């Protein structure tokens, strides 16, 4: 979501005769786009700000801006306590950036952190970095109010772009040669533009170019309709992959989290998804050490992992966030207990993913070539339809190609093979 927002910011700035440099020492303006979802994300921004001091020293005229969720959350602290920061702009005020940066050049610090009920940057064409896949934000904000989550406070109420404007952006991406589009929203399947719902949007997106893959992130289990599952199953270029955050396997904790489903409902949903979409990839998010979490609750989460057998998971320690309901529940699981529970969760999940991936050794999978692999310049990295990461020797293939790869080796996160 932040990558997509950064592309909106780059588009707004370049429309006002700013250009992009990859050398921060030469920049007149430096923005940091921030995330508040967990404390370590915020800590990293403070570290990054400290390293920006050198640029201000070399070039006292440089304007430094903090954008995004932390801007909204920490506004005055960022300006008052950190002399370094000139502008602080929240996620709904990016249109004001050129004006605020101009004021900053003449010495006036600026804060713009109002949230909007309507801003969705519908008319702004994001300035994307070239590649195979494009992010496309289709709705903003979240009305779910999970008790641990700061997003409804930092990004405001849900609002959706018009289907027609999204479709015309996808047409443009197709003509530019993009091979994959990921429709984004904090709570993407509550998309509704007044006329069309999320399955309508996905169907329209997929119809633009049948050779283009369509993905989406992140849905809430409550809003996964049979219509959506049926549409994914029936549409070949909609990827068979769902990231479906469960957060906890304990009904008591799920209730305190305000997740609005029980474990039984969630498991029934995953069964329905697996029956209707054979071969579907499933991944999840887990929080360890939510307030009041007992060893029994923790074991229920581990059991849920074992029952669903996810292809992958993002696993986090609970991080208390001011303003949220969970903040008032106290952060009563001791740090060392959180660390231990998280590492147990990671161990169980990695073992499951390793087993699932090992079953693919010997199989041939279809892969969209995306980029050079992180480990070697001689290898490509790509993903299967159901979101398995695959690494293989280049062997004449080019970025953007669809190739068949025979899998020779696998670990918990990656399949390795060669083109056949
Ligand atoms: N502490 C830990 N993890 C969190 N997440 C959201 N808020 C918190 C928090 N306060 C996780 C959830 C969510 C993912 C994007 O981040 O698992 O699905
Ligand atoms: Fe946060 Fe996601 Fe819950 Fe919305 S649905 S409050 S973004 S965790």
Catalogue all structural domains in the chain, each as residue range(s) with its CATH number: 2-112 (3.40.50.12160), 364-419 (2.40.50.140)
Cα of 70 to ligand 2 centre, how many Å? Answer: 17
CA 137 to chain centre: 11
Q: Please list every protein residue whose CB sits less than 6 Å from any atom of ligand 2.
A: 142, 144-146, 149, 151-152, 186-187, 220
Protein residue with least CA distance to atom 3, ligand 2: 146
pTM of the model: 0.96
Cα of 297 to ligand 1 centre, how many Å? Answer: 17
Tell which one of 249, 287, 330 to mutate to probe ligand 1, the residue whose CB is within 8 A of the most ligand atoms: 287
Ligand 1 near 319 CB (within 6 A)? yes
Per-residue pLDDT of the chain in tens (420 residues, 90 and over written 9): 999 999 999 999 999 999 999 899 999 999 999 999 999 999 999 999 999 989 999 999 999 999 999 998 888 788 877 678 999 999 999 999 999 999 999 999 999 999 999 999 999 999 998 789 999 999 999 999 999 999 999 999 999 999 999 999 999 999 999 999 999 999 999 999 999 999 999 999 999 999 999 999 999 999 999 999 999 999 999 999 999 999 999 999 999 999 999 999 999 999 999 999 999 999 999 999 999 999 999 999 999 999 999 999 999 999 999 999 999 999 999 999 999 999 999 999 999 999 999 999 999 999 999 999 999 999 999 999 999 999 999 999 999 999 999 999 999 999 999 999
Cα of 27 to ligand 1 centre, how many Å? Answer: 34
Cα of 149 to ligand 1 centre, how many Å? Answer: 6
Size (the chain), residues: 420
Ligand 1 near 38 CB (within 6 A)? yes
Ligand 1 near 153 CB (within 6 A)? no
Beta strands (DSSP E) in 90-152 are: 110-112, 133-137, 139-140
Ligand 1 near 287 CB (within 6 A)? yes
Ligand 1 near 290 CB (within 6 A)? no
- How many whole angstroms separate alpha carbon 163 and alpha carbon 192? 9
Radius of gyration over every alpha carbon of the chain, rounded to an integer in angstroms: 22
CA 29 to chain centre: 26
Task: Mark 337-373 as b/e (b = at least 16 C-beta within 10 Å).
Answer: bbeebbeebeebbbebbeebbeebeeeebebbbbeeb
Ligand 1 atom with the smallest distance to the CA of 320 is 10
Strands 364-372 and 379-383: antiparallel
**C-alpha distances in angstroms, 50 versus 83, 231, 412?**
11, 48, 36
Ligand 1 atom with the smallest distance to the CA of 149 is 7
Handedness of CA 365, 370, 371, 374 (dihedral sign): negative
């Amino acid at each position: 979501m932040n990558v997509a927002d950064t592309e909106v910011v780059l588009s707004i700035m370049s429309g006002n005769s700013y250009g992009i440099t990859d050398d921060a020492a030469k920049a007149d303006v430096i923005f940091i786009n921030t995330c508040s979802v967990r404390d370590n994300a915020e800590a990293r921004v403070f570290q990054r700000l400290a390293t920006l001091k050198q640029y201000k020293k070399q070039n006292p005229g440089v304007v430094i801006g903090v954008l995004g969720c932390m801007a909204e959350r920490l506004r005055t602290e960022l300006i008052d306590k950190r002399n370094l920061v000139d502008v602080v702009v929240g996620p709904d005020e990016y249109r004001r950036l050129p004006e605020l940066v101009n004021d900053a050049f003449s010495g006036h610090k600026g804060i713009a952190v109002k949230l909007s009920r309507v801003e969705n940057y519908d008319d702004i064409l994001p300035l994307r970095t070239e590649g195979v896949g494009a992010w496309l934000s289709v709705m903003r904000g979240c009305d779910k109010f999970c008790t641990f989550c700061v997003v409804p406070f930092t990004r405001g109420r849900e609002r959706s772009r018009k289907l027609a404007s999204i479709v015309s952006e996808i047409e443009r991406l197709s003509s530019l040669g993009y091979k994959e589009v990921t429709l984004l929203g904090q709570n993407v399947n509550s998309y509704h533009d007044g006329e069309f719902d999320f399955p309508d949007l996905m169907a329209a997106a997929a119809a633009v170019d049948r050779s283009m893959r369509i993905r989406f992130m992140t849905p809430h289990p409550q809003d996964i309709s049979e219509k959506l599952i049926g549409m994914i199953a029936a549409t070949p270029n909609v990827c068979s992959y769902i990231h479906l955050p469960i957060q906890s396997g304990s009904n008591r904790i799920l209730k305190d989290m305000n997740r609005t489903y029980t474990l039984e409902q969630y498991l029934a949903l995953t069964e329905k998804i697996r029956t209707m979409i054979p071969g579907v990839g499933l991944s999840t998010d887990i929080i360890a050490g939510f307030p009041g979490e007992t060893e029994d609750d923790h074991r229920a989460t581990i059991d849920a992992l074992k029952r669903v057998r996810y292809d992958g998971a993002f696993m986090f320690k609970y991080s208390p966030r001011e303003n949220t309901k969970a903040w008032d529940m106290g952060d009563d699981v001791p740090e060392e207990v959180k660390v231990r529970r998280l590492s147990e969760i990671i161990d169980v999940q990695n073992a499951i993913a390793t087993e699932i991936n090992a079953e693919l050794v010997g199989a041939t999978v279809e892969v969209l070539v995306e980029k050079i692999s992180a480990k070697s310049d001689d290898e490509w990295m790509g993903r299967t339809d159901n979101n398995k990461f695959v690494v293989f020797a280049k062997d004449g293939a080019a970025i953007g190609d669809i190739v068949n790869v025979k899998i020779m080796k696998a670990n918990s996160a990656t399949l390795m093979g060669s083109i056949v």
